[in-house]
Amino acid sequence: MGVFRIKQTRDNVFQDPTFDPYHLTAPEAPTIVVRPSMMRWLLLCASLALAIGCGAWWRAHLAREVAAADPYAYFEIKAIGPDGRAVAGATVTSAETPVGVTDSFGEWRRFVRVKLGSSLPLQLSKVQGGEAIAASRQLQIPAVMPETGALSIKGRIEMVRVASRPISKAKKSAPPSVVTR
């Protein structure tokens, strides 16, 4: 077991200045010396952080401008089959991108961000009872916002039977050609 020894002797203890709690002096902070190579790294990091911050602000600023320029439009489309009934479960695509499916009443409802004065291409398709039915329509967006501030586009799309050719036994998976109306 170690022995604890006090390194100061009785004489050294009394020679140290006494502790005065009323006249404390704060220790001075050591001066920081920055070498030139360290200063270059600090400037590089500060300029990089500033550039990233400005770039993020600019992207957010542009996103706000685009969001304000392109409004949402409410689309309500009803799909009608060749027999005059509503077509439930028809796939709705816009520019080769699926955007939804018609509900049990044959209706498709969606808010879509659009540019004023443009058009939205919609294609509907479904295989029903062994035959394929399809339709295609370009929906025109008004050039000016209505006074109410709500842009709503409603319409009916009549689907027709797709012209089909006899399917040979060798090519059962050949897709039928689409007839648009």
List, for residues 25-83, the tens digit of each pLDDT value.
666 667 777 788 888 888 999 999 999 999 999 988 887 765 556 788 889 999 998 88
> Which of 54-68, 78-92, 159-173 is modeled with the greatest confidence?
78-92
* 136 within 8 A of 127, measured Cβ to Cβ: no
> Which of 56-60, 142-146, 173-177 is modeled with the greatest confidence?
56-60
What pLDDT shows up at residue 103? 92
How many helices (H) and strands (E) in the chain? 2, 8
Residue ranges of domains in the chain: 37-69, 70-161
Neighbours of 115 (CB within 10 A): 13
Q: What's the rounded Cα separation, in Å, for the pair 148 and 150?
A: 5
What pLDDT shows up at residue 83? 87
Q: Mean per-residue pLDDT for 155-174?
A: 63
107-113: strand order across its sheet: 107-113, 72-80, 151-158
- The CATH code of the domain at 70-161 is 2.60.40.10
Of 170 and 15, the one with more pLDDT: 15
Q: pTM value?
A: 0.51
